[in-house]
Structure 1
Amino acid sequence: MACSTTAGSIEKSPGVLKETFKDKFAIGTAMNTWQITGRDTAATRIIKDQFNAIVAENCMKSGRLQPEEGKFTFELADQFVDFGEQNNKLINGHTLIWHSQAPPWFFTDEEGKEVSREVLIARMKKHIHTVVGRYKGRVDTWDVVNEAILDDGSYRESKFHQIIGEDFIKLAFQFAHEADPEAKLYYNDYSMAEPGKREGVMRMVKKLQNEGVKIDGIGMQGHIGLHHPEIGEFEKSIEAFAGLGVEVMVTELDLTVLPSPWGDQGAEVSKNFDYEDKMNPFPDGLPDEVMDAFNARYLEFFGLFLKYQDKISRVTLWGVADQHSWRNGWPIRGRTDYPLLFDRENKPKEVVSDIIKLSNQQ
């Protein structure tokens, strides 16, 4: 028997996440357009009350900021930064260089032909200098490069890599540092518990460090499922990345309860599959046993984060409440998922109270 979407919610506030973790690590969430503009008042209140860090979900991606060459659209990004400053939040800019959601013009000339290495480097430099420079001293951290390494540890054959080579990563970090020497600069990727990716990211970061490039941290996207990844492998990656002498962040944290069409829980946004009822098993709420498994899995991971609180500087949820999550539409449109800490009525789930109790014991 399925319970309602609010099952597990609690009538009284379980406590305040940002207060619980204030001496351990920052606790954050991604903000969408409705929250940034204040139209979603319920979610905005949760962000103000519960979180002390925010990240731009979409409004700072290159395709949004510079849809046409030289024509920047900063209105929403400005509002995002203003919100962070007005509410005393740690502000994370996401993301400067990413193969996905980059504007098509970035890689082609007026005739539609692929640009030269020199032209693409110049375009990268202008974009990063313009964006980071605009928010110099205001945005605390930047996800400079996103998802450049494949699960086997090799470089993704993105247009950036095809045209520039692996140096595009070094150049991106250099340009960001030039634009704001005080901002912290991070590399961010998914499936970071995969041994091959772990080793590939470590090689890449060591190479940057050996070349004198400023890189302050590594973001481990936390797109997890009930059974994947193995928490022991996630722990190995925390230890390995921290061993490089950089900060470790858990970014984009959410927990899907839905079956995966390909048997793993990566986050390759270009993948999509057709809808089938069997792939949307909980349209009206979660059975008690699934809710119990959900709670236990979140507690297990927060226990891990608390264990490494001296190495983890921030944990960020990828959304506020279940209705906001990209998980509802990826990789199959039309599904109903329950991946976040607040339900569709914007109430804290039972696990929030459990997480706070766990933290208070540490």
Structure 2
Amino acid sequence: MAALFLTGLSLLPDTAFGQEIPSLKDTFRNDFGIGTALNMAQIEEKDPQMTAFIVRQFNMATPENIMKSGLIHPKWDTYAFEPADKLVEFGKKHNIRINGHTLIWHSQLPPFVRGIQSRDSVRAFFTNHIKTVAGRYAGKVFSWDVVNEALNEDGTMRKTVFLQHLGEDYVTEAFRLTQQAAPNTELYYNDYNNEQPAKRAGCIALVKKIQAAGVRIDGVGIQGHWHVGRVPLKDIEESILQYAALGLKVMITELDIEVLPRNFQGAEVSRQMAANAESNPYPDGLPDAVQQQLAADYQALFRLFLKHKDKITRVTFWGVNDGLSWLNNWPVRGRTNYPLLFDRKNQPKPAFYKVVSLK
């Protein structure tokens, strides 16, 4: 995912119309974990009201950026562990389980990696990075997104620096190294659009290759960056079934539902759109018809998740509230987006009540 851009917020208490807001984590405590993505201000507890809100609503968390290699490993022989260490402490303090995100991703790499020309040097970075980072947080994070977004839309391997220099077995090797460095940590492959048939087939082939090599993979993350009125429920259900049939846990790892115009699907961070009036149609609020469609989509999704709660272990939203969503700044900067269950003041939207009404 792309970087998150903070905006000034005036948060209201964790109440709505004088009534305490239900807790998502408590509502689904017997079904699956409820997670969110955290930025550095939240990890450092800059806003006590925000901290209290996060702790009440969520029992799992994924760092949005600080564990990506460009931030945690900025130079060949330099690691910046302090932010991730603070995340671990945040989780320990508030009884929130941490999913590490992510060890190997072609995007947000340290600048020095782009200048590497030799296979041996890429392999040295790859090996040392995994062993150092996964090893440091062994027993401290619950799980790792070991490899992120290694597939093209047609299910073939994405052309990355790792594929170029290390070959198609680099994914298997990443899981092997992480297993060695963090033997008691759950290991996941994470991607977007991997509920779509072609990409799903590629993901299944990738998993089978890892398993055939005798290397452990515990689960697959379906990111869940979907679009209002077009959530592919049948494809999602079929993917849950097929991934679970491989003996894998299934996670919805970066859930949000886009309500603004977009001419492509997924979460390819390199893609951009031009900013204009048509690309930001709701700067002053979401029309009721769209709000109700968003609510219906979230309700249908969670109804499906509950149907397969024996296979799904976690549902993580990519951001705490609408104002903190990365979709305000991607693929167009400065838009006003509304993709989550809570508004910019942490107040529940109709979608929230539709979701909790299922229990």
Shorter-chain TM-score tier: over 0.9
Once the two structures are TM-superposed, the CA of residue 16 in structure 1 deviates from its matched residue by 1.0
Shifted more, 15-24 versus 345-354: the winner is: 345-354
Give me the whole-angstrom Cα distance separating, in 2, the residues matched to 1:226 and 1:142: 29
Once the two structures are TM-superposed, the CA of residue 229 in structure 1 deviates from its matched residue by 4.0
Q: Which runs of 5+ in 2 are unaligned?
A: 1-11
Aligned counterpart, 2:64: 57
Which residue identity does 1:54 align to in structure 2? A
Once the two structures are TM-superposed, the CA of residue 125 in structure 1 deviates from its matched residue by 1.2
Aligned counterpart, 2:77: 70
Aligned counterpart, 2:169: 167
Which residue identity does 2:62 align to in structure 1? V
Which residue identity does 2:201 align to in structure 1? E
Once the two structures are TM-superposed, the CA of residue 198 in structure 1 deviates from its matched residue by 0.4
Given candidates 128, 131, 134, the residue that maps to 1:132 is 134
Once the two structures are TM-superposed, the CA of residue 337 in structure 1 deviates from its matched residue by 0.3
Residues 121 and 164, structure 1, Cα contact 8 Å, conserved in 2: yes
Give me the whole-angstrom Cα distance separating, in 2, the residues matched to 1:356 and 1:317: 15
Q: Deviations over 1:116-149 (max 9, x none)?
A: 2x32122111111111111111111000000001
Aligned counterpart, 2:118: 115
Give me the whole-angstrom Cα distance separating, in 1, the residues matched to 2:146 and 2:234: 28
Q: Which runs of 5+ in 1 are unaligned?
A: 1-5
RMSD of aligned residue pairs (Cα, Å): 1.3
Which residue identity does 1:120 align to in structure 2? V
Once the two structures are TM-superposed, the CA of residue 333 in structure 1 deviates from its matched residue by 1.0
| CA 331–306 in structure 1, closer or farther in 2 if over 3 Å, else same | same
Give me the whole-angstrom Cα distance separating, in 1, the residues matched to 2:149 and 2:126: 16
Once the two structures are TM-superposed, the CA of residue 355 in structure 1 deviates from its matched residue by 1.3
Aligned counterpart, 2:8: none
Residues 231 and 297, structure 2, Cα contact 8 Å, conserved in 1: no
SS in 2 for 1:334: coil
Q: How many residues align?
A: 345
The 4+ residue runs of structure 1 with deviation greater than 4 A are none
User: Equivalences for 1:1-362 in 2 at 5 Å?
Assistant: 10-11=16-17, 12-109=19-116, 114-116=117-119, 118-260=120-262, 262=263, 264-358=264-358, 360=359
Once the two structures are TM-superposed, the CA of residue 213 in structure 1 deviates from its matched residue by 0.8
Give me the whole-angstrom Cα distance separating, in 1, the residues matched to 2:354 and 2:298: 9
Q: TM-score, normalised by structure 1?
A: 0.93
Residues 299 and 351, structure 1, Cα contact 8 Å, conserved in 2: yes
Which residue identity does 1:115 align to in structure 2? S
Residues 13 and 348, structure 1, Cα contact 8 Å, conserved in 2: no
Aligned counterpart, 1:3: none
Q: Deviations over 1:206-235 (max 9, x none)?
A: 111111011000000011111334211111
Give me the whole-angstrom Cα distance separating, in 1, the residues matched to 2:148 and 2:48: 30
Which residue identity does 2:265 align to in structure 1? Q
Once the two structures are TM-superposed, the CA of residue 53 in structure 1 deviates from its matched residue by 0.4
Residues 275 and 332, structure 1, Cα contact 8 Å, conserved in 2: yes
SS in 1 for 2:144: strand
* Identity percentage of aligned residues: 48
Which residue identity does 2:309 align to in structure 1? Q
Once the two structures are TM-superposed, the CA of residue 107 in structure 1 deviates from its matched residue by 4.5
Q: Deviations over 1:141-199 (max 9, x none)?
A: 00000000111010000111111111110111111111110000000000122111000
Give me the whole-angstrom Cα distance separating, in 2, the residues matched to 1:40 and 1:100: 30
Shifted more, 264-273 versus 214-223: the winner is: 264-273
Residues 62 and 103, structure 1, Cα contact 8 Å, conserved in 2: yes
Residues 107 and 120, structure 1, Cα contact 8 Å, conserved in 2: no
Q: Deviations over 1:249-275 (max 9, x none)?
A: 001001111011x2x321000111210
Which residue identity does 1:287 align to in structure 2? P
Residues 296 and 354, structure 2, Cα contact 8 Å, conserved in 1: no
Residues 107 and 115, structure 1, Cα contact 8 Å, conserved in 2: no
Which residue identity does 1:48 align to in structure 2? V
Give me the whole-angstrom Cα distance separating, in 1, the residues matched to 2:255 and 2:80: 28
